Amino acid sequence: MHLLNLIRRSAFNLIAPKMTKCGLFLTVPSKISTCGTLRMIYLNKNISKNANENIDLDEWKSVVLSGLEKEAFEKRSPEEEPNIAAIKEYIDMSRRLGKPVPENITEEQLKRLIEYPSVSSRNRYLAFLFSKEMKKNADKEKKKKQQEEREELRKTMENEELIPKSRLFRAIWDSSMDVTYNWKAAQAMSFGQPLIFDMDYNDMSERELQNTVKQMMECEGANRKAVEPFHLYYCNFKEDGPYHKEFLKRYGDAWDNLFVTVTEKSYVELFPRDQIVYLTADSPTVMETFDHNKIYIIGSLVDKTIRKGVSLARAKRLKLATAQLPLERYFNWKTGAKVLTLDQMIMILITLKNTGNWKEALEFVPKRKHEGFLDPSLQQFIHKQKNRKISEQNFKKKLLVEELSKKRLWNGLWEE
Amino acid sequence: MGFFLPKRNWVLQTLTFLPVSAKQNFPAMCRCFTSITSCRWAESTDPKAFHPEIKRKDDNIRKKKAGKDRFPPKPFIAFVAGSSKMRAMDNTNNSVANDSFSPLKIVSPPDTPLSAKEWEKLKEEYHHFKKFEDVMFDSMINHHSPVDVAKSLLVAVAKRDGDVEYSYLVKYLAICVFHKDIGEIYDVYNIMKAKYKSLEASAYSLLIKGLSDSPHWKETLVLLEKVKKVSFHSRQNYGDCIEGALLNQERNLAFELFHELVAEKLTPALTTIKLFFDFCQSVKDDHVKNKCIDILYYLRENQIYPDESLMLSIKQWFESIPGENWKGNLTTMSKSRQCCSCGHLLEDINLNEEEFINVKEKIKRDVIEGTDIFRNTSPQELERFQTFVNKHPPFDVVIDGLNVAKTTLLSPSSKTLLDVVDYLAQKYHRLLVLGRRHMLKNSFQWKKRDMDEMQKKADFFFTDNASKDDPFLLYAAFHSGGHCMMVTRDLLRDHKAVLSDSVTRRLFFKWQRGHQMVVSSYLPGKILTFEDALPYDTIVQTDGNTWHIPYDDNLSNRVSYEIPMKWLCLQKK
């Protein structure tokens, strides 16, 4: 036995790299006997060379196949189309490989999956569903934990005697907060400065549209909570269009009670053209200050694939003034597009409206995109470089004005 | 990295000889260190990152110094294979590749099979991994461990769990396929068939790859059909099936598979094409010969260039055709249209009438107007441009004014443009310079005197500052006809990408190669050289008795907007 092993091992070393024929080394099946403990002692002394003597390398096949006979094969319901069943099976197998695919998939999602035209797009969709599922499960677990904690709290509370405390106010509930916000929003509807969302972007993919609507909801919420809200207009809004459907899906009955003006008309019909400023990152002009008499437009567009100059083209067509935020002036820009999300935009505008302080307003630009605020001295330096001529002219003007005012003063003094 | 090494040594030396008193210099030293390792934190300590203006000035000073040292500038080459790679090497900021900390590098697989108990022990050593077996199998695949080692781990798993997970089976299969252990592959295949109703893509492709050169190769066709049912076909799977068919002398089946692959709009791998030429050598069958010639025509139609190994196979195949006596030479082409080795005239690069009109229309539709005409220009401007072009007789050269003017920072923009216009005016009759309105304002960069002088020698068209000038450049060149050249360094990739269909893109690229002149190097008052357009088309071509096939050598990394420079010239004696 030992001899055979020796011969086999030496032969093994010769033929191993070639491996042309299988079944050359028919191993003698033998169970690891009690000398295993002995071998373990050897192992501890780092003599593991002899360890492969008694390993039966083909044992796993018999184990797997014997396991097969035991388990009965579950069959899918025959009602399903063979194609869909096969794809479900396929997803199941991918999950076993540890790929990011969801555990459960609905018929609707399956149909959408089949519509995707390539492997990569399908995999991306599956990964998206997977992450959604993971989030759901995590949320469920969190809720369970919270419930348990609450139960414990209640038990401890029950043990203590509750003494009624005297209070000045009763607890402020969310509903009363809502009422206050709504009053303010209603006030804004009648006296507030208009802020327009241009809803005329119809060539978005479904996912982009969903993101847009989600961001618009964030905007509306942020605006409602502001000290002095804008009067929001949703212009070019098509009744029963894709936007409308998505809004109804998300807001439900609340859609009709929103304090915003939704209109099919264009902003050009509602307001004088010279007051309108279209905000777009591609604009050649930079916004210096926030003007309370102007009407700003934000294009409600999410472009995952950056489509340059779409909103600028729209403004050009209608001959409107455009402006971009002075991001380069205030930031040392690091990475990422200078296109901000809708909710970031509205937060910046609200802060500008209420304080007029750029530094405070631009806090809402994501921190990952820049390397901090530029310090004023350097800012002036760059500014000077850019606008040296303008500043020189202004300086001369200032001198003139000062001289004139001095003259006037003297004249006035003399006259007196 | 290599650039920084001497610096680092220098820093080390200085540090070792640092007297204790030089404490103030220490932060500066540290800064040197941080700039060596490019991490974000280091970027923020870099004073230049804070002062973009200063940075630009620095660069200017450096460039000026370079000018004083009279280093001729590196020539700009547009379409030669590998030139963009060279440019990228020049432009990189010596960044250090960060070594990712991968578990696969920590775990090294054993080199002999272990028993189940020994595996248990190993597992305890690596207890911080969630799934030790997964990591172990992955590292085995990475290290190309022998099949028996993987097998012993499978045995250990099977003993412990009474079953083997699918993912382990697939990974084990990958190891078997690498070692071409056909018996094992077939066993795993049978187990998978018995155990699962269907598999997923990676297992299918592994099986197809593994079984293709075995007696069971017919199974691969069944597997291929199965893949099509649930997922998309990949060119690799087809390639493996074709290999299996060719190995077993089933040439017709292989050709059928090839046609199927092309019909699926997949581009076959070059190794797959190589197989055909390798396996069809010395065949007296005219049918097979014609099929191989068809493949060459396929390469021609889709502008696919063979690599060096495929080229050698093609050469051998031609030379092995019985009774035809082909002779192959490797050459490079001269600037003329003649082949250096046989003197045969290569195909002309000019588009024919129909193609030219097609590309012209598409450029007007896709590049200038696009989805929204206001994105690039405005209707009024387009009309102004069209009346301008129609009023003038056709131009010989259209110059992208801004692009040419920015070739160097050593002289004002208008001076550079003036030099180029002067040079071209001696050779060509009618010039058109495209620019933007801001060029007309007298400034340091754009001197009125220079502009006035140019106006005598060339026609000018200025677009609005907010418009794009490239589309007009293209349209003006196409409007002037097939003889018109254009001068720009821009590779026009973004405009090519906007074109709606691949055929037009290909034609556009062909036109671009034949009509784009590039200011390859310029030193004010000293050097001005142009890279002329190629007179011949770089494409697989034949006239029956000769074949000329451009190919990529193994050295140069060619990108999609470049063309190979080496040729295989085949002649029938």
**Whole-angstrom distance, CA of residue B324 vs CA of residue B328:** 13
Catalogue the long-range contacts made by B403-411 (C-beta closer than 8 Å, 24 or more residues apart).
Answer: B403/B488, B403/B489, B403/B490, B404/B487, B404/B488, B404/B489, B404/B519, B405/B445, B407/B489, B407/B519, B407/B522, B408/B73, B408/B522, B408/B523, B408/B524, B409/B60, B409/B63, B410/B63, B410/B64, B410/B67, B410/B523, B410/B524, B411/B524
Residue among B491, B474, B485 nearest B365 (CA): B474
Asked if A378 has any chain B CB less than 8 Å from its own CB, the reply is yes
**Whole-angstrom distance, CA of residue B323 vs CA of residue B326:** 9
**Whole-angstrom distance, CA of residue B23 vs CA of residue B460:** 62
Alpha carbon of A225: minimum distance to chain B alpha carbons (Å)? 37
pLDDT of residue A408: 66
Exposure string over B47-81, b if 16+ CB within 10 A, otherwise e: eeebbeeeeeeeeeeeeeeebeeeeebeebbbbbb
Question: Using an 8 Å Cβ cutoff, are B182 and B214 in contact?
Answer: yes
Contact criterion met (CB < 8 Å) for A59 and B166: no
Contact criterion met (CB < 8 Å) for B115 and A67: no
Count of other CB atoms within 10 angstroms of residue B526: 10
Alpha carbon of B352: minimum distance to chain A alpha carbons (Å)? 34
Contact criterion met (CB < 8 Å) for A313 and B197: no
Contact criterion met (CB < 8 Å) for B375 and A68: no
Residue of B nearest to A94 (CA): B200
Token pair, residue B196, equals 């699962």
Amino acid at B135: V
HEC-encoded secondary structure of B144-183: CCCHHHHHHHHHHHHHHHCCCCHHHHHHHHHHHHHHCCHH
Chain A to chain B Cβ contacts (< 8 Å): 146
HSE (CB half, 13 Å, CA atoms) of A365?
Answer: 24
φ/ψ (deg, to 5) at A285? -95, 145
pLDDT along chain B (573 residues), means of 10: 43 41 43 39 41 47 46 75 81 54 74 87 84 88 90 88 88 93 90 88 92 89 89 90 92 93 92 93 86 94 93 93 88 85 89 93 90 89 94 94 89 92 92 93 89 92 91 93 92 91 92 92 86 90 91 88 91 86
User: Which segments of A39-150 are extended strands (E)?
Assistant: none
Residue of B nearest to A48 (CA): B114
Q: Can you say whether the dihedral through the CA atoms of B438, B442, B446, B448 is positive or negative?
A: positive
DSSP sequence for B412-427: -HHHHHHHHHHHHHHH
Of B163, B198, B372, the CB nearest to A89: B198
Alpha carbon of A111: minimum distance to chain B alpha carbons (Å)? 13
**Whole-angstrom distance, CA of residue A344 vs CA of residue A367:** 12
Question: Using an 8 Å Cβ cutoff, are B302 and B503 in contact?
Answer: no
pLDDT of residue B16: 40
Exposure string over B85-103, b if 16+ CB within 10 A, otherwise e: eeeeeeeeeeeeeeeeeee
Contact criterion met (CB < 8 Å) for B116 and A32: yes
Token pair, residue B37, equals 């390792």
Question: Using an 8 Å Cβ cutoff, are A261 and A231 in contact?
Answer: yes
Beta strand pairing call for A331-333 and A370-373: antiparallel
Mutate to test the interface with A, among B152, B159, B195, B200 (most CBs of A within 10 A): B200
A391 Cα distance to chain centroid: 42
Within A160-303, residue ranges assigned H as helices are: 174-191, 206-224, 242-251, 267-270
**Whole-angstrom distance, CA of residue A224 vs CA of residue A222:** 5
Of A49, A67, A312, the CB nearest to B162: A67
Matching residue, tokens 């199927």: B260
Asked if B39 has any chain A CB less than 8 Å from its own CB, the reply is no
Q: Can you say whether the dihedral through the CA atoms of A202, A205, A209, A212 is positive or negative?
A: negative
Count of other CB atoms within 10 angstroms of residue A120: 10
Residue among B383, B498, B468 nearest A313 (CA): B468
Of A48, A60, A90, the CB nearest to B231: A90
Contact criterion met (CB < 8 Å) for A55 and B183: no
φ/ψ (deg, to 5) at B46? -70, 120
Mutate to test the interface with B, among A18, A33, A57, A307 (most CBs of B within 10 A): A57
Q: What is the largest CA-CA distance in chain A?
A: 131
Q: What angle do CA B329, B330, B331 make, to 5 degrees?
A: 110
Token pair, residue A12, equals 């093994």
Token pair, residue B309, equals 């190994």
Reported as type and span, the H/E element at residue B121 is helix B116-125
Reported as type and span, the H/E element at residue B477 is helix B470-480
Asked if A38 has any chain B CB less than 8 Å from its own CB, the reply is no
A 86-145 residues inside an 8 A Cβ radius of B:
86-87, 89-90, 93-94, 96-99, 118-119, 122
pLDDT of residue A55: 64
* Burial of residue A250 (number of CB atoms within 10 Å: 0-12, 13-18, 19+): middle
Contact criterion met (CB < 8 Å) for B152 and A67: no
- Helix/strand/coil for A105: coil
Of A16, A87, A99, the CB nearest to B146: A16
Contact criterion met (CB < 8 Å) for B148 and A16: yes
Contact criterion met (CB < 8 Å) for B374 and A314: yes
Alpha carbon of A145: minimum distance to chain B alpha carbons (Å)? 24
**Whole-angstrom distance, CA of residue A158 vs CA of residue B249:** 86
Question: Using an 8 Å Cβ cutoff, are B363 and B474 in contact?
Answer: yes
**Whole-angstrom distance, CA of residue B472 vs CA of residue B508:** 15
- Digit-by-digit pLDDT tens for chain A (416 residues) are 454 444 444 444 444 444 444 444 444 444 433 343 333 333 343 434 444 455 677 777 777 777 665 554 444 444 556 678 888 888 999 998 889 999 999 988 998 998 898 889 999 999 999 999 999 999 999 999 999 999 998 888 777 666 667 778 777 788 889 999 999 999 999 999 999 999 999 888 888 999 999 999 999 999 999 999 999 999 999 999 999 999 999 999 999 989 999 999 999 999 999 999 999 999 999 998 999 999 999 999 998 887 888 999 999 999 999 999 998 888 888 888 889 999 999 999 999 999 888 889 999 999 999 888 876 555 566 665 666 666 566 667 777 777 777 666 666 555 54
